[in-house]
Amino acid sequence: MKRRDILKKLSLLPFAGGLASLYPFQSAKASPAADSPANRDLFKELGIRTFINAAGTYTFMTGSLMHDYVTDTIKAASKEFCLLDEVQDKVGEKIAAMTHAEAAVVTAGAFSGLTLGLAGILTGTDVEKVKQLPHLEGTGMKSEVICQKGHDIDYNHAFLNTGCKIVPVETVEDVEKAINEKTALMHFLNIEADKGKIMHEEWVALGKKHGIPTSNDIAADVPPVSNLWKFNDMGFDFVVISGGKAMKGPQSAGLLMGKKKIIEAARVHMPPRGFNIGRGMKVNKEEVLGMYVALEHYLNYDHEKEWKIWEDNIAVIEKAAKSVNGVNTKLFVPPLGNITPTLEITWNKPEVKAKDIQEKLRSGSPSIEVISHSENSINITVWVMKQGEEKIVAKRLNEELTKILA
């Protein structure tokens, strides 16, 4: 195998550290375990690279940075015991009111919300049924989820975890043909709404017409803040969203919002109970309360002001990139999800590859991560950056683009 091929293989492994992670003993200094955690820099101690995130809310880059009010909440919450069900009850009631849902629960992310919402639909609160998942055959439980082809992304694996299969459709006629006594759910994916022929309202109406519950994955789809209640108002039976993206709550949290009966049943699949498929998706009081304050704050702050800051900051980066000979920039806002000013940078030398620029930025000081969706372009957002980092990114981009295009 050529070295290049080995590197390619390595980059596909789950530990994206690649070669470095094969040599874990490189800096085997004595562990300063006696120091108080506040005085330790564990990233440094363990040799973990940190970076400026100019890419966005990517799980492989650990999502977004929690706000101080979230980490303060987590720390305070960790000092007391309470009943896990009670904290979910009380927080769920508040979250439901804030999002116009009948009920809500904090899950271990949007993906877990999809699994749990569907599981609840399959079983209701019948413990004997709950225990049988994911083995649905011969139980009489429903086992199919209908979804438009353009909406059938990897994350729909969340539904397979219940034992269900996905039935892809394209037209209204397809939907009506696909519906049968095994149909448990009709699922919609907001961020790819434009990749399907059937839009939100019609999807909900079709579900209602046939008595099939509908769901909507809006994991990455705030801002706008109104999306937090828009799809509950529209009549979807359950809606899921990530906590650790724009809301800057815990990365291991999200919301499942929806009909009371579904949320109640979903809870039977969740800890503290352990006879279910959801036991491994535990959120403790720290995440539950952290998610709650993240949402509360998100609903209350000045989104227009934040948008203006994003525009100003991305303009700084655009200007610095554009001033390099041979560089083109395009500023756009994705319409359905990850809705934030996004800068696409392209250049006039096809032999220069995005990954070369990414590597230069990555190995510089400070390290910077940008994202690329094609060989000859990189994309930048500023919404998870810390104040002032836009200037550093602008300067580093200008330096590296100037060098590589010279």
Q: Binding residues for ligand PLP, per CB under 6 A?
A: 59, 109-111, 155, 191, 217, 219-220, 242, 254
Beta bridge partners of 185: 145
Minimum separation from the CB atom of position 295 to ligand PLP (A): 14
Minimum separation from the CB atom of position 15 to ligand PLP (A): 18
Residue in 17, 23, 70, 13 with CA at minimum distance from that of residue 48: 17
DSSP calls for 301-347? S-HHHHHHHHHHHHHHHHHHHHTSTTEEEEEE--SSSS-S-EEEEEE
Q: How far, in Å, CA of 36 to CA of 76, rounded? A: 18
Assign 27 to helix, strand or coil: coil
Residue 158 or 370 having the CB closest to ligand PLP: 158
Residue 217 or 400 having the CB closest to ligand PLP: 217
DSSP calls for 67-124? PHHHHHHHHHHTTS---HHHHHHHHHHHHHHHHT-SEEEEESSHHHHHHHHHHHHHHT
Residue 186 or 327 having the CB closest to ligand PLP: 186
- Tokens representing 291 are 């998610």
Strand 103-107 vs strand 214-217: parallel, antiparallel, or unpaired?
unpaired
Minimum separation from the CB atom of position 66 to ligand PLP (A): 14
Residue 189 or 320 having the CB closest to ligand PLP: 189
Residue 187 or 267 having the CB closest to ligand PLP: 187
Minimum separation from the CB atom of position 227 to ligand PLP (A): 13
Burial of 23 (0-12, 13-18, 19+ CB in 10 A): exposed
Minimum separation from the CB atom of position 231 to ligand PLP (A): 13
DSSP class of 372: E
DSSP calls for 132-151? HTT--TTTT---EEEEEGGG
Residue 154 or 351 having the CB closest to ligand PLP: 154
Strand 165-169 vs strand 103-107: parallel, antiparallel, or unpaired?
unpaired
**Using an 8 Å Cβ cutoff, are 357 and 401 in contact?**
yes
Minimum separation from the CB atom of position 48 to ligand PLP (A): 21
Q: Which residue is nearest to ligand PLP (CB)?
A: 109
Residue 108 or 146 having the CB closest to ligand PLP: 108
Please report how many Cα atoms fall inside a 13 Å half-sphere around the Cα of residue 217, on the Cβ side: 29
Minimum separation from the CB atom of position 201 to ligand PLP (A): 20
CA 353, 355, 360, 366 dihedral sign is positive
Residue in 142, 146, 145, 151 with CA at minimum distance from that of residue 175: 146
- Tokens representing 295 are 């949402």
Minimum separation from the CB atom of position 57 to ligand PLP (A): 8
- List Cβ<8 Å contacts ≥24 apart for 351-358: 352/376, 352/404, 352/405, 354/378, 356/404, 357/400, 357/401, 357/404
Residue 51 or 155 having the CB closest to ligand PLP: 155
- Tokens representing 262 are 């579904």
Residue 52 or 222 having the CB closest to ligand PLP: 222
- Tokens representing 271 are 């800890």
Minimum separation from the CB atom of position 325 to ligand PLP (A): 36
Residue 62 or 367 having the CB closest to ligand PLP: 62
Minimum separation from the CB atom of position 291 to ligand PLP (A): 11
**Using an 8 Å Cβ cutoff, are 267 and 55 in contact?**
no
Minimum separation from the CB atom of position 111 to ligand PLP (A): 3
Residue 139 or 284 having the CB closest to ligand PLP: 284
